Structure 1
Amino acid sequence: MNRKHLVFIVNPKSGVEREKAIQRAIDNRLDSDIYSYEIQHTEYAKHGTELARNAAANNAFAVVAVGGDGSVNDIVSGLLGTETSLAIIPKGSGNGMARAMQIPLNEEQAIDVINKGNTIKMDIGYANDRPFISNAGVAFDALISRKFAKSTRRGFAMYSWLVTKHMWTYNEWDWDITIDGKHMKEKAFIVCVANGTQFGYNFQIAPDANWTDGLFDLIIINKFPKILSAAIVVRAMTGTLTSSPYVKHYRGKEIVISHPELKLMQTDGDAHQCANKVHFKMVHSAQKVIVP
């Protein structure tokens, strides 16, 4: 019986102990009757995209992204347009994609998901031709993504500190927004185009988003009084953010967001330069993913 081949792609910067834990989990739990495997390592930025593309060209059944949302994005960028599936062993900071897909954060339990092999076809969004899986944004979240990337510390505490530090000095902008041809103006400090439900750390920016419905969920958040900060966070952590009077929720397949001073956007937590306008397009059922 021919076994299906898996390619695990690991960032060696994650540390020796973490890689040993991954190897132990593979040895202990991967079903060797179903799968053969190899482990490959990224050596530079976007190397994961190249490795994933090569794995697909060599007919790998699945590429296993061992890392966070940025690593997953890199690997999906190499798999799009192929028949090779994506699998995830979450080893990042926020792990928004894995949490939203209910993939366990424990290595061995994540491999159990791979053993079962349940696959869906997931939608993929594009922001000015950059693919994204979970979400993209052009306002406050883009700023925080850039600050977090430059920080030497990781984790929820650092992310929360950056949000708290910059939230009250970040001004709302008057945005031009077009959704499926319908134009509107919105004043907001967060403008998020979501395919998945959360940023990470279980902060559910778009609790009603669905990976497979062919639609973006556009979340617009207005500045709110400081006294309501805790209440907004509770709503986000409990999946009720869109019921806040400070939040607006729209859906659409194609979205254009612009502002004369727009220079920064984020896709899946990675910040990028842009110029005045971001064009978001949805591709339905674009990528096979192994999920629980």
Structure 2
Amino acid sequence: MNKKLVVFIINPKSGVERVKELKQLILSTLHLDEFDYEIWHTKYAKHGKELAKQAIEKNAAAVVAVGGDGSINDIASSIMGSKVHLAIIPKGSGNGLARTLKIPLLAEQAIALINNWSTTAIDAATANGALFLSNAGIGYDALIAKKFAHSEQRGLRVYAWLVSKYLWLYKSRFYKVIIDGKDYSGTYFLINIANGQQFGYDFKIAPDAHLQDGLLDAVLIKPFPKVYGIVLAWHAYRGTILQSRYVQRVRAKEVLISNDQLKLAHLDGDSFQCEQEVVFKVHPNALSIIQNNASL
């Protein structure tokens, strides 16, 4: 029986011990009578894209993204449309996509999903052609993504501190918003275009979003009293943010957002230098993944 080749792509900056631990877990968990494996290391930003293309050329059956949503995004952008499946070992900060897909956060359990080899296709999305899988944002959440990316420290505590600090400093802006041809223009605190449910850390900006419905959830948050911010955050954590009178959700296949001063967005938590007009589109069933059977 021909074995399937599984390529693990990891950032060595994660630490020597983490790389050693990964290899030990692969040896002890992966069914080596069914799979061959290789561990490839990224050496610079976006190197994961190139490595994923090399994995396709090598006829890999699956590429495993070992990292957070940004690392997953890099790899997914290269294997979309191919016969290669994406697997995930969550090693990021918020792990938004992995949580939405119910991929175990423990590496050993995530590797075990590869043994089951249950695959399915999920939707992808683009902003002016650039890929995102979980969500993209304009406004306040784009600012937080930028500040978090430049922070020397990671984790929920740092993220919460940034959210609290810039809540009081950020000013809502007027945006032209066209959703499937209908005008929703107005002044918004943030606009999030969600393919998946959450930012990460189980904070759900679009709790009803589904990765296989062929739609994006446009979440429009209107200006609110700043003291209400903690209530909105609590709603997001509880999965009830759509109950707020300041929040509107519209489902769509295409969303256009423009503002003369628009420069910054985020895609899956990574800052994205954008133009004054951004067009978001959904691409149904664009990416094949190795799933948790309980996830979708």
Same fold flag (TM > 0.5): yes
1:1-40 paired onto structure 2 within 5 Å: 1-40=1-40
Within 2, Cα distance between the matches of 1:127 and 1:26? 35
1:97 alignment partner in structure 2: 97
Task: Name the SS of the counterpart of 1:31 in structure 2.
Answer: coil
Tell me the CA shift for residue 101 of structure 1.
0.5
CA shift for structure 1 position 226: 3.6
The question of 1:197 aligning with 2:209 is answered: no
Amino acid corresponding to residue 79 of structure 2 in structure 1: L
Residue 115 of structure 1, CA deviation: 1.1
* 2:9/2:65 contact within 8 Å kept: yes
Shift of 1:224: 2.5
What is the aligned partner in structure 2 of residue 45 from structure 1? 45
State the partner residue of 2:84: 84
List per-residue Cα deviations over 1:130-184 (Å, max 9, x = no partner).
0110001111111111111111111111111111111111111111111111122
Is 1:134–2:134 an aligned residue pair?
A: yes
CA distance, structure 2, for counterparts of residue 57 and residue 81 of structure 1: 14
Paired letter, 2:15: G
Q: How many angstroms does 1:11 deviate by?
A: 0.2
Is residue 167–residue 226 contact of structure 2 (8 Å, CA) maintained in 1? Answer: no
Paired residue secondary structure (2:88): strand
Q: Distance in 2 between matches of 1:114 and 1:172?
A: 44
Report the identity percentage: 50
Match of 2:257 in 1: 257
Q: Could you tell me how far apart the structure 2 residues matched to 1:131 and 1:107 are?
A: 25
In the alignment, which residue of structure 1 is the partner of 2:169? 169
Return the alpha-carbon distance in structure 1 between the equivalents of residues 227 and 176 of structure 2: 29
Alpha-carbon offset, residue 282 of structure 1: 1.1
Q: Distance in 1 between matches of 2:223 and 2:160?
A: 17
Provide the residue aligned with 2:213 in structure 1.
Answer: 213
Amino acid at match of 1:12: P
DSSP 3-state at the match of 1:250: strand
2:75 matches 1:75: yes
Q: Quote the offset at 1:21 in angstroms.
A: 1.8
Secondary structure at the aligned position of 1:138 is classed as strand
Letter paired with 1:192: N
Tell me the equivalent position of 1:289: 289
Give SS of 1:199's match. strand
How do 1:213-292 and structure 2 match up within 5 A? 213-292=213-292
Counterpart in the other structure of 1:54: 54
Deviation track 1:61-96 (CA, whole Å, cap 9, x = no partner) reads 100000000000000011112110000000011111
- Write the deviation string for residues 14-49 of structure 1: whole angstroms up to 9, x where unpaired: 111211221121111111122110000000111100
Runs (4 or more) in structure 1 with deviation over 4 Å come to none
Post-superposition offset of 1:56? 1.2
Partners of 1:230 and 1:269 in 2: CA distance: 21
Name stretches of at least 5 consecutive residues in structure 1 with no aligned partner: none
SS of the aligned residue for 2:64 comes to strand
SS in 2 for 1:121: strand
Instruction: Report the TM-score, using the length of structure 2 for normalisation.
Output: 0.96
Alpha-carbon distance in 2 for matches of 1:117, 1:178: 40
Equivalent AA in structure 1 for residue 111 of structure 2: I
Provide Cα deviations, 1:236-280, integer angstroms capped at 9, x if missing partner.
112111111111000100110011110101100110211211111
* Structure 2 residue ranges without an equivalent (≥5): none
Distance in 2, matches of 1:231 and 1:150, equals: 27
1:206-242 Cα shifts (integer Å, max 9, x gaps)? 0000101110000011232344333222211121111
Contact 2:80/2:288 (CA < 8 Å) preserved in 1?
A: no
Which residue in the other structure is 2:111 paired with?
111
Residues in 2 aligned to 1:141 and 1:234: alpha-carbon distance in whole angstroms: 16
Does 2:151 correspond to 1:151?
Answer: yes
Higher deviation after alignment, 246-255 or 272-281: 272-281
